[in-house]
A and B are shown apart, each in its own frame.
Chain A
Amino acid sequence: MKKTLAILAALLMLGACTKDLEMDFDDIEPQVVAMSCVEPDSTLMLRLTYSRFFLSDRPFRTIDDATASLTVNGTVTEEVVAAAGGNYGFAYRPQPGDRLDLRVSVPGRDAVSASTTVPHPASLANLRASLISHDQYDCTYSVRFTLDDPADEDNFYIIRVINHRHYSDEYGNHDRDAYCRFSCNDYLLTEGIDLGSLLDGDNPGEYYGGEFFFTDGNINGLSHEVELLCSTENEAPELYLVITSCSRDRYLYEFSTRNHDDDIFGEPMQVHCNIDGGIGIFAARSRSVLPIPLQQ
């Protein structure tokens, strides 16, 4: 009992060192938040809200009385005035190569704006897969493809692999999609050894996870053979390769949202925004979803 009390006393001493902080913050005016993920051949949706003070737990206020105008390749194409619930829909369906300029006017505030260029989908060829190991429960496929990177431009890619499953139970037939973990041992893409993977118990020198972010810094203008090792359950897997070609802003936004609060030892990651005069992201991406031919 005495020992327990000693431990409790030690914990109490440590616990006593935390306290709520009363601070006078300068007035922090809520800012206009514009969120839009632009994709080719899809109607363009824009969501407008206000930001809130970080110690508030109220719901975000939507902006219903704004005027949003869209300029495509230098020509004002469409204007949407006021939308309930803060969701503004444009009829225009962007195409790869389009340059889009967005301008949002909210009564009583300065206008906010942003621009993006719709990237072309990634150029892939020779997608194939081979089974390299399997046991009673799991199997591992080597998935290979050739990525043709356009020269003279910066390209940003995200690779994901989806495992689509059909299954039946007493409630009926179901479909379920889940991201599949994979590794990529390609120094040109991973830019070095990642000790974080090592400490996680993964093979060093490889990317391992469910989303692989990389740029064309080391493969600019090249046809580059990419190999992924995908591990999945050994139950009739149906794999799809999702490769997303992003505008720079979209890539940085997605990358920063993945990493902004992960590592207490790292410098805090600022979520990337590109709204001039406000917060949020108006940026494009082109996704290609390709079925991976599997040897069963």
Chain B
Amino acid sequence: MPRVPLSLLLFSIFNFQFSILEAQTVSGTVTDSRTGETLIGATVLETATGHGTVTNAHGRYSLTPGTRAVNLRFSYIGYKPQVHTFDLTTDALINVRLEPAVELDEVTVTAERVALPQLSQMSAVELPVEQIKLVPVLFGEADVLKAIQLLPGVQSGTEGTSGIYVRGGGPDENLFLLDGVPLYNVNHLGGFFSAFNSDAIKNVTLYKGSFPARFSGRISSVLDIATNNGNDREWHGSASVGAIAAKFSIEGPLVKERTTMSLSLRRTYLDLLLQPLLLAAASEMGGERVNAGYYFYDLNAKLTHRFSDRSRLYASLYMGDDAVYLRSTYRYGDYDGYRYDDAIKMRYAWGNLAAAVRWNYVLNPQLFMNITGAYTRYRNRLSLGMELDDENPGESRHEEAEVSFRSGIHDFTARADFDYAPHPDHSIRFGAVATNHLFRPEVAGYRVAGTGMQTIDTTLGESVVHAQEFTLYAEDDWTVSDALKVNAGLAAAAFLVQGSFYPSVQPRLSGRLMLSDDLSLKAGYAYMTQYLHLLSTSNVSLPTDLWVPVTKRIPPMGSHQVAAGVFYSRWGIDFSVEGYYKWMHNLMEYLPGSSFFGSSTGWENKVCLGDGRAYGLELLAQKTVGDFTGWVGYTLSRTLRTFPQLNDGREFPAKYDRIHDLSITVQYKPNKRFDCGVTWVYATGNTATLALQQFEGDRAGGWNVGEPEPEVLGYVESRNNFRLPAYHRMDLSVNFHKQKRRGVRTWNISVYNLYNRQNPFFVYRGYKEGYSSADGGYRSTPVLKQLSIFPIIPSVSYIYKF
């Protein structure tokens, strides 16, 4: 009996192998005809059989059409499609250069596009960079994360900041990949700007769920950002001056069509603008001199070399640093040789560095390999100090003291990724990642020195924690039939830290069922594990937020997420409705009363672990081609937390639990000389913890020796018990372009918060003072006050592209 099924099995395998061997493969790279930039996600479709694929992160495709007479159609949003017809008798290499559609006509050309229902991936959104640049934002500074915040399922954090909260996750649960290299702190200026310079970016894809197995390490989202390789034919660049920052970028061939480079720089000049105000303040204040400022800069550089059609090398570098500094000196006297200077100083600096070398190699037409070696560093340093100079005739004294706090994380990563297309119906990816983490969680320094004093120079907590993380993954994008497509994968991860070993097996599954040419159903499940925690208070997001690994006492975070949706395309608009439910465990919060300033080697004692759940419904209507583009996104969701040590163990809403979240983004580009964008957002207010009742308590101790004394205390019934007023605002951006002799100049006028809505930043109990209209008496009445930080903010930028 067993022989029959065994024979059948062997026959099936042989038949499958034979069909693979028999089929020929066409492969190659899809690039922009003008710049030579590789196009990510371009569609390659054999029109007769319906077999197709999309280009990977390196612009590569590999397709085994399963037919001899091939009619291959290449298309990409914003580009004119190309059709290549040929006989496929042996493996073929077809490199395609697509022409940008808008370059062909003065009027808009409706470009070929792949409708959302046809893609097998769900819970993923790809935003064209040109569309991101048209989204109006604060100070006119185009920002990837601010555009991402407008998508359904993504909540923004505190107003103006670029923190993202995806489907109920925290800000530390997002994996930010810049050319495949993870970045830890992606914020400048406390989060008001992201670390991603839009001039350096080529492609942005956000995964909110149904994560492919190749992504792991964070439990809530993956933001995959690819940067420009650089034009391989001509030198081009741009320079811009905005309200707070200046940018410069240049790209071009070092060796034509072989070696390219791309360089982008950005720096703020708020510190320079502040100097006249500080000088004015100093002259008003007499003896006090103040030197203070803030700046950030970032640099993106990339070098690409093409050895052959089969082999390419990429070297990329990202550097970004922020610094805020203050030095205030007060001179008490300067006469007859007497002088007394008292100075306080503070400097706070933080930043990322990410460097990577990648080598692409086509092993054979069906098998593509990418090898990456990367180094990532995030560090911050805070120092506070004072100096005292006392000069008398015949005697002088100098004293100084400084406390400092610094932390950092260094990652060394090696990874190998393979794309394998053995059969028309299978597109397989597999690979391995190994990362050596080096944490220097907290180092505190204390230094005192002075004339006649014994110098104290102490460093505490200079301990390094090594951890190793390994991941193996495999996924298969399997076309089961014309209607049904399945992506099944598995990631196996392990984390080794201080003798503790945490393995994790993470299954991923998603599927698409086409109901008609423009209507499909999709569903997916993903389990994700995260081995790093961010120590952060819930009130503010600061660069002192500390990344720490799991420990014996603090296990990894995890999340299970199921999602399902309907996708429909009509009139060039993609419509989608997605529902999701997410369970999260081992989430971390500070214990009440604890804060980052109390955190140090005992941080494990100051945090507690709990669970979370989030569920919601997301609606998206997106139009990416035509004069009018944009999207409408709406999310109905809840995000809840349960921590045994918080809120008496009762479930409470998360800080950014917003029930309704609506964003409308419209962009209009009628011609090459003018375009504009309008955004309107509305969201249920954030939650806050507020003592809505007061009671007469008592207070013993303190500085009151004796019996406890009555004291008015606030009573908080439950955590996050108060909801701030709804948030809404409208932003506008207008661009005027003009062709000049050597390039194109653009004037950008942006208005943030067009109708000057005073959205709450936080609320507090204050007093309203004034004379009563009833009896004319002076009254001081308790009221609830709110602080808003961004009124209407117009800004102008000048951009010159050459």
- A: residues with CB less than 8 A from B are 3-4, 6-7, 10, 13, 16-21, 23, 25, 28, 30-31, 33, 35, 37, 47, 49, 51-57, 60, 158, 160, 162, 177-179, 190-196, 198-199, 201, 203-205, 210-211, 254-271, 273, 279-281
Contact = CB atoms under 8 A, between A and B. Distances in A.
B501 interface: no
Given A37-B700, A193-B460, 6 more contacts: A7-B281, A17-B758, A33-B697, A53-B693, A192-B602, A281-B697
A203 B760 CA distance: 39
B782 A54 contact: yes
B460 A19 contact: no
B549 to A, nearest CB: 17
A270 B598 contact: no
Interface string B446-480: 10000000000010110000000000000000000
B691 interface: yes
Contacts of A261: 714
B705 A199 contact: no
B642 to A, nearest CB: 16
A143 B693 CA distance: 42
Interface string B633-647: 000000000000001
A267 B705 contact: no
Interface centre among B705, B783, B788 (most CB of A within 10 A): B705
Contacts of A271: 697, 713-716
B446 A198 contact: yes
A192 B605 contact: yes
A210 B703 CA distance: 8
Q: Which of B538, B542, B597, B647 has the most CB of A within 10 A?
A: B597
A20 B592 contact: no
Contact of B692 (A19, A53, A254, A260): A53
Contact of B696 (A47, A55, A178): A47
B391 to A, nearest CB: 24
A177 B706 contact: yes
Q: Which 4 A/B pairs are nearest by Cβ-Cβ distance?
A: A192-B602, A3-B280, A266-B595, A269-B593
30 contacts: A4-B280, A4-B284, A7-B284, A16-B791, A17-B758, A17-B789, A17-B791, A21-B760, A21-B784, A23-B784, A31-B715, A33-B696, A49-B696, A54-B765, A55-B784, A254-B700, A257-B697, A257-B711, A260-B714, A263-B597, A265-B597, A266-B598, A267-B590, A267-B593, A267-B595, A270-B592, A270-B689, A271-B713, A279-B715, A281-B697
A22 B715 CA distance: 21
Interface of B: 276-277, 279-281, 283-284, 384, 401, 403, 405, 442, 444, 446, 458, 460-461, 537-540, 542, 589-590, 592-603, 605, 647, 689-703, 705-706, 708, 711, 713-716, 719, 725, 758, 760-761, 763, 765-766, 768, 781-789, 791
A196 B537 CA distance: 15
Nearest to B595: A266
B281 A49 contact: no
Contact of A266 (B280, B539, B697, B719): B539
A237 B161 CA distance: 54
B597 A199 contact: yes
A191 B607 CA distance: 13
B695 A54 contact: no
Contacts of A262: 593
A269 B691 CA distance: 10
A204 B782 contact: no
B695 A51 contact: yes
A199 B403 contact: yes
Nearest to A255: B593
Contacts of A160: 701
Given A7-B284, A260-B713, A193 B444 contact: yes
Given A265-B540, A267-B539, A270-B719, A204 B692 contact: no
Contacts of B601: 192-193
A198 B760 contact: no
B446 A35 contact: no
A265 B596 contact: yes
| A49, A178, A205 interface centre (most CB from chain B within 10 Å) | A205
Contacts of B695: 31, 33, 49, 51-52, 60, 279-280
Given A256-B592, A271-B713, A52 B693 contact: yes
A178 B702 CA distance: 10
A191 B699 CA distance: 25
A279 B603 CA distance: 31
Q: Which of A13, A17, A20, A270 has the most CB of B within 10 A?
A: A270
Contact of B714 (A54, A60, A195, A266): A54
Contact of B698 (A37, A55, A204): A37
B335 to A, nearest CB: 27
Contacts of B384: 199
A261 B713 CA distance: 10
Contacts of A259: 593
B538 A194 contact: no
A279 B594 CA distance: 23
A20 B784 contact: yes
Considering residues B403, B700, B781, which has the most beta carbons from chain A within 10 angstroms of its beta carbon? B700
A33 to B, nearest CB: 4
A7 B280 contact: yes
B784 A18 contact: no
Given A19-B758, A23-B784, A55-B783, A35 B458 contact: no
B284 to A, nearest CB: 6
Nearest to A17: B788
Contact of B460 (A56, A199, A205): A205
Given A21-B783, A193-B461, A265-B540, A254 B701 contact: yes
A144 B597 CA distance: 29
Contacts of B284: 3-4, 7
Contact of A211 (B702, B715, B784): B702
Nearest to A287: B700
A178 B280 contact: no
A165 to B, nearest CB: 11
B460 A204 contact: yes
A179 B705 contact: yes
Contacts of A20: 766, 768, 783-785
A19 B761 CA distance: 11
Contacts of B711: 257
Contacts of A178: 703, 705
Contact of A35 (B405, B539, B698): B698
Contact of A193 (B401, B600, B691): B600
B716 A270 contact: yes
